[in-house]
Amino acid sequence: MNTRRLPPIWVLSIPFVMTGLMGGFLFVTLPQLLAKQGVPGGAIAIVIAICASPSFWTFLFAPLLDVRFRYRTYVLVFGALGVVASALTALSHASLVRVEIVMLLGIFCLNMSMSALGGWLGGIVEKGQDSKLGAWYTIYAIGGGGIGVFVSGWATQTLSPIQAAGFILVIYLLPLLLCFGIPAPPPSELLASENFSRFAREIVLLLKRREILVALAMLALPSAAFSLTNVLGGWSDSFHASASFVSMVGGASIVVGGILGSLAVPLLVKRLPLRPLRLAIGIVGSAFTLGLLLLPRVPTTYGIAFIGEYIFQSAAVAAAVSIIFEVIGADNPLAATTFALLGAAMNFPIVYMNVVDGKGYDWRGVTGGFIADAVVTIVTCLLLGAALRRSLLPAGDGGSKLSGERAL
């Protein structure tokens, strides 16, 4: 495809803001709504973990995205269904079971939509643009969460349930309109059954490479998850922070933290390759988390925690996503599947660490949650660094786009 006809990278990436919009609702606004109903902090963490779980198992269905219809169709249909789920949850959230079912399906649809978008864009951008695409993905996905918090927080606090649901529905659907301005290649002529078989062969091929196993280990283990961003919205009472304060500071923190963390990676990677950089981010970020325990439990500390955790999480995500886009390469018939698989490995610890943080909270409140998150991360980073010390600086870490067998 003639890349000169493509919009700029920052325009191409705008639909990724859908991840941020729904993430802001799931990880900040929904915990507030549940806390207002008297749901305990530990239980909230479990609910959020269940709802977010499709982030690491949606890839099993991703081969469906590479056949029959254009990527644009999948992005629009699944994206719209995900937004509807968020609106329905804003309308009615009295039943935890209903919330878990509706939002689990909603996040599944969101991940299918974003996997199709990742495969779509990863296959049409020119060589050498992967790091830019990864940075803009992270800016929109994490920074866009601030918009999601502002929109859903304001709507649920000031409007009636029906009005709030309608407002969220309209605003969250807007980014999908950009998809009509992006060139969409024709779909593969493979049958879905053939694509699943091909996917299985591709997985076996990938897992034979040491570089892939090293990367998957670093992504799937909690070396830089910073999942406290997902549960802080439900722990605001421990810092005497009001709902309006959480929406205002939380939203601003997500935007600022997402941008700062994302833009820091292209600068840091000039001095430190991606693999050791991710471990360094995990260790330094966890030290920051432990340092928060020295501060008083006041709203200001809550704001510092929010922005700091998002800075470190966005930096870790930007580094990982840059590698994922590089691996996809051009003309990859399994582009969406590849994006979904590697994205699942990245999202896996962000989800299960919610449970760890929740157990820590049940143990000793906010102190226990912070200690559990930081200690698990630091220990994991040190163990990975020791076990993989010979693999952290592989030749050609910057790499080039390859087809078939690709090294991370």
52-73: pLDDT as tens digits:
888 878 878 877 887 778 889 9
| Whole-angstrom distance, CA of residue 280 vs CA of residue 30 | 32
Q: What is the mean pLDDT of residues 257-283?
A: 86
pLDDT tens column, 357-374:
989 998 989 999 999 999
Cβ neighbours for 220, distance < 8 A, ≥ 6 positions apart: 345, 348, 349
Q: Which domains does the chain have, with CATH numbers?
A: 14-387 (1.20.1250.20)
285 vs 188: which has the higher pLDDT: 285
**131 — pLDDT class (breaks 50, 70, 90):** low
Cβ–Cβ under 8 Å, residues 62 and 340: yes
Q: What is the mean pLDDT of the chain?
A: 82
How much is the pLDDT for 17?
Answer: 93
| Whole-angstrom distance, CA of residue 349 vs CA of residue 52 | 11
Q: What is the mean pLDDT of residues 232-247?
A: 84
Q: Please give the single-letter amino acid code of residue 339.
A: F
Which of 112-116, 117-121, 249-253, 271-275 shows the highest mean pLDDT? 112-116
**206 — pLDDT class (breaks 50, 70, 90):** low
| Whole-angstrom distance, CA of residue 37 vs CA of residue 44 | 11
403 vs 313: which has the higher pLDDT: 313
Cβ–Cβ under 8 Å, residues 136 and 15: no
How much is the pLDDT for 329?
Answer: 62
**267 — pLDDT class (breaks 50, 70, 90):** confident
| Whole-angstrom distance, CA of residue 112 vs CA of residue 404 | 23
Tell whether pTM > 0.95. Answer: no
- 17-24 vs 96-122: helix axis angle to the nearest 10? 170
- Residue 296 in 3-state DSSP? coil
Q: Please give the single-letter amino acid code of residue 18.
A: M
- Residue 230 in 3-state DSSP? helix
